[in-house]
Amino acid sequence: MGLSTASVYPENTEAAFRYAADLGYDGVELMVWAESVSQDAAAVAALVRRYAIPVQAIHAPCLLISQRVWGADPVAKLERSVRTAESLGATSVVVHPPFRWQRRYADGFADQVADLEQRSDVIVAVENMFPMRADGFFGSKERSAQRLRRRGGPGAALSAFSPSYDPTDSGHAHYTLDLSHTATAGMDAMKLAERMGEGLAHLHLADGRGASMDEHLIPGHGAQPCAQLCRHLVDTGFDGQAVVEINTQNARTQRERSSMLAQALAFAREHLEPGRAASGSPRSHSGGDHDDT
């Protein structure tokens, strides 16, 4: 079970390693974004050694807020993400579908992903996203979630992704399934998992109520079939990676953030690794030399 470094925002990458070590996560997924350490493979390698926590996956810098991270060319950034994964011993790269305005990148995206996987042992798992919903411009998250349930879908919406926010529309060898994104998109997570089939290689374990804004709730705190999907993965012999990617920005203290991350890990252990359900309690790492805060 991995922890996305995005889960500790607004704390930094090192904080994510510290939480992962203290709570008993098996590794981290490194979100590459504006923070300088996240972009520096040597600095991240030092954190791996210090906390005895490996990097399991790299999340390529493809968010709107990271459009200039590692330059402006998305083709080069995806290539660099794979090379960084190789240097850190990570086995996968998570990437979003191209934005519609990235026309050259979008035209060659499927071919680039296939070529990168052919030239490397690192898999490139394309993630499901969600549309921009019109009801996101008015009302609360609760009201937008209620509207989605009444309509049976997101209503008026516009996809910023090419050709679609559903990567199975293009067809790739490997996919990332994000359960917060399925909530916002009004997608059936179980049916999406079935479409991804054996290509489902990476799970972002989170939850959502169907609000117009991406929520990334603790699994079990929203409306997504998190437990059912986990059972499906266990029953079908899933041997990919599962990563907790939740939003803890509302945590008022480090203790509260730690509790949220521990709850998510306990859910993951219970439903994905039944035999290890009791092992999600905090631990100490004799191999690390970090100071607890």
- Coil, helix or strand at residue 196: helix
Segment (H or E) for 33: none
Domain-embedded: residue 281:
no
- Is residue 254 situated within a structural domain? yes
Residue bearing the bigger pLDDT, 149 or 79: 79
pLDDT at 159: 82
Give me the percent of the chain exceeding a pLDDT of 90: 80
Local structure of residue 236 (DSSP, 8 states): T
DSSP label at 276? G
Give DSSP secondary structure letters for 125-145: EEEP--PEEGGGGSS-HHHHH
Lowest mean pLDDT among 73-87, 94-108, 116-130, 265-279: 265-279
Angle at 179 between CA 115 and CA 6, to 5 degrees: 75
Residue 250: is its pLDDT beyond 60? Answer: yes
- pLDDT of 153 reads 62
Asked if 206 and 159 touch (Cβ cutoff 8 Å), the reply is no
> Over the chain, what is the mean pLDDT?
90
Residue 290 lies in a domain: no
What pLDDT does 292 receive? 41
- Given 3-state DSSP classes, what are the helix, strand and coil percentages for the chain, each rounded to the nearest 5? 45, 15, 40
CB of 44 within 8 A of CB of 88? yes
pLDDT of res. 212: 77
Over residues 225-241, the pLDDT tens digits come to 999 999 999 999 999 99
Residues 212 and 133 sit within 8 Å (Cβ to Cβ): yes
Q: Longest C-alpha distance within the chain, in Å?
A: 53
Q: Is there a contact between 30 and 57 (Cβ–Cβ < 8 Å)?
A: yes
Mean pLDDT, to the nearest integer, of 221-225?
97
Count of the separate structural domains present in the chain: 1
Task: Mention every residue, 6+ apart, whose C-beta is less than 8 A from residue 205.
Answer: 179, 219, 226, 230, 242, 243, 244, 245, 264, 267, 268, 272
The answer to whether 177 and 196 are in contact (CB under 8 A) is yes
Least confident span in 20-24, 73-77, 117-121, 211-215 = 211-215
Q: E-strand spans in the chain?
A: 2-4, 27-31, 55-59, 92-95, 123-127, 132-133, 157-158, 175-178, 200-205, 241-244
Average pLDDT over residues 256-262: 98
Stretch 193-214: mean pLDDT, rounded?
Answer: 94
Burial grade of 285 (CB within 10 A; 0-12, 13-18, 19 or more): middle
CB-based burial, 36-60: b 16+ in 10 Å, e otherwise = eebbebeebeebbebbebebbbbbb
Which two three-digit tokens encode residue 250? 């509302």
pLDDT tens for each residue of 140-186: 566 655 655 666 666 555 789 999 999 999 999 999 999 999 999 99
SS3 of residue 176 by DSSP = strand
Question: Is 46 part of a structural domain of the chain?
Answer: yes
pLDDT attached to residue 174:
98
- Let me know if residue 243 belongs to a domain: yes
Residue 199 inside a domain? The answer is: yes
> For position 64, what pLDDT does the model report?
80
Q: Give the pLDDT score at 136.
A: 54
Backbone phi, then psi, for 2, in 5-degree steps? Answer: -105, 165
What is the pTM assigned to this prediction?
0.89
- Any idea what the CATH number is for the domain that residue 88 is in? 3.20.20.150
- Could you tell me the residue range of the domain that residue 37 belongs to? 2-271
Confidence check: pLDDT of 84 > 50: yes
Model pLDDT, residue 281: 45
* Model confidence pLDDT, tens digit, residues 274-284: 766 544 444 43
Q: Does the residue 40 lie in any domain?
A: yes
Q: Reply yes or no: is the peptide bond before residue 10 cis, omega within 30 of 0.
A: yes
SS3 state of residue 283: coil
Position 276 in a domain: no
Residue-level pLDDT at 132:
76
Q: What is the mean pLDDT of residues 26-31?
A: 98
CA–CA distances in Å: residue 214 to residues 144, 160, 271: 12, 14, 23
